[in-house]
Structure 1
Amino acid sequence: MHHYVTPANVEQRVLRRLGKRHAIGRFDASRTALVIIDMQNYYVAEGFPSGSAQARGIVPNINRMSSAIRAAGAKVIWVLTGSSKAMEFWPNHHIHNLSPENAARRIASLAEGGEGHRIYPELEVHPTDILTSKVMYSAMLPGPSSNLLDTLAEHGIDTLLIAGTKTNVCCESTARDAYMLDFRVAMLSDCTATSSDEEHAATLNTFQLFFGDVMNFDDVAARLEPPARPT
């Protein structure tokens, strides 16, 4: 797991811009979702070409965070990359940005229903959780890539907590697009992972300087507000 601490110069710049450390003071559980990106065997499990020890390292933290989110009454949403529409909706990526061998392997390994597509088995998925899919890096692109935007609208969600892998690819793409669509967004430093500490830190530094918040489990737990009970 990456051990991220916000650098002092980044914190000072956030304070100058915002006047406080975090933009999000409280999380209204009825309008908040934990969005967990790509925690599938293909990206996490040993024996898969893109399996990652760093991603395996955040599994306990994601389980802990998702449990706290459910207990507060907020939504947990799992976003899974699938390849069945990859050549229909994202051909340039597979033809021009990957070798033929890597493109074929990716499409085969992420086929819906296959072992690579499944959520890593040590992650705790509950019956109340929502599962959705995406084709491209960002889960927030409207149209063929994903129906996450429609799912969030259906449940009245305006605040997102981003977890999963990779920090600087699908997690960052989703988080930035969500922010540009006027969602309140926090990337979770202890529930995201990528290939190196340097890439992880660079993404989180940039995100809190220009986009949304960066928080850890304790930051979120201190701000979670369960839905008000009817009187």
Structure 2
Amino acid sequence: MGWKTDWRSFYYETAEEPEDIVLDAARTALLVIDIQNTYLEVSDDPAEAARWAPFHARMHDTVIPNTRALQDWARRQGIEVVHARIACLKEDGRDRSLSQKKPGFNYLLLPMTREDSQIVPQVGPRDDEIVVTKTTDSALTGTNLRIVLHNMGIERVICAGIFTDQCISSTVRSLADESFDVLVIEDCCAAATKELHENELRTINMIYCHVMSLEEVQGLALR
């Protein structure tokens, strides 16, 4: 058991095991996506609060502390830490993509200066770490991040954050389409439910990325 055999979908049940990964710190970036204050707010509606309680528990107990540990590890290794958040540049949200304007859960009006759009302090940027503000699910499509990563010589991106089945998945697919090697750290991510989280990991694993745990990525060889 381990990242080479876990999280396989039907397509990759019989595929050969991937080769060992060696991280080149100078060519690797850690991208933390959308861990923002708004997603930690508890609804005033008791039924809705109960419905989201497992997600909030995972965020507080697993995702935030693990992501902080992942960031600290990356900084020690000389891996660039980058942050992405979803917010609108116009107060009325006209600049948002259509997916962020549709009614329902995805409808978000988060002006970029408002407190609920800010990154959770425990996993926030330090010093001159880059923060991109996106108006789409994908952190690559909705920003100049692709050019920035290219300019810094980045070839591999480690992804963490939320939501696994939405902005993580969209970003991972965009990165893969641009020929970046991608790692997704499963215990630094969350979806609304465990089922959605695990289903998406199986969908994107081995074709768009390699899914592994915090412990596994920290155990990879570096050069």
TM-score category by the smaller chain? 0.7 to 0.9
How far does the alpha carbon of each residue in 1:8-62 deviate from its partner, in whole angstroms, 9 at most, with x for none?
A: 6828964732x22x45611111011110000110123446999850333310000
Structure-1 separation of matches of 2:168 and 2:183:
11
The RMSD of aligned alpha carbons is 3.0
Partners of 2:125 and 2:131 within 8 A in 1 = no
1:203 counterpart = 2:200: yes
The equivalent of 2:8 in structure 1 is 10
The within-5 A match list for 1:122-201 is 122-141=122-141, 145-201=142-198
Q: What is the number of equivalent residue pairs in this alignment?
A: 211
Aligned counterpart for 2:211 among listed residues 211, 214, 220:
214
Change in 2 beyond 3 A, CA 1:67/1:139: same
How far does the alpha carbon of each residue in 1:137-194 deviate from its partner, in whole angstroms, 9 at most, with x for none?
A: 00111xxx21211221121111011100001100010001111111100111010011
Structure-2 separation of matches of 1:55 and 1:175:
20
The equivalent of 2:60 in structure 1 is 56
Paired letter, 1:83: C
TM-score when normalising by structure 1: 0.80
Task: Report runs of 4+ in structure 1 exceeding 6 Å deviation.
Answer: 4-9, 48-51
How far does the alpha carbon of each residue in 1:105-140 deviate from its partner, in whole angstroms, 9 at most, with x for none?
A: x21xx1111111111123253214221111100011
Structure-1 separation of matches of 2:150 and 2:165:
25
Paired letter, 1:134: K
TM-score when normalising by structure 2: 0.82
Listed as ranges, the gaps of 5+ residues in structure 1 are 227-231
Listed as ranges, the gaps of 5+ residues in structure 2 are none
Partners of 1:24 and 1:184 within 8 A in 2 = no
Structure-2 separation of matches of 1:224 and 1:75:
17
Structure-2 separation of matches of 1:37 and 1:225:
24
Structure-2 separation of matches of 1:9 and 1:188:
12
Structure-2 separation of matches of 1:78 and 1:72:
17
The sequence identity of aligned pairs, in percent, is 24
Partners of 1:55 and 1:164 within 8 A in 2 = no
Range with greater deviation from structure 2 (66-75 or 110-119): 110-119
Partners of 2:7 and 2:201 within 8 A in 1 = no
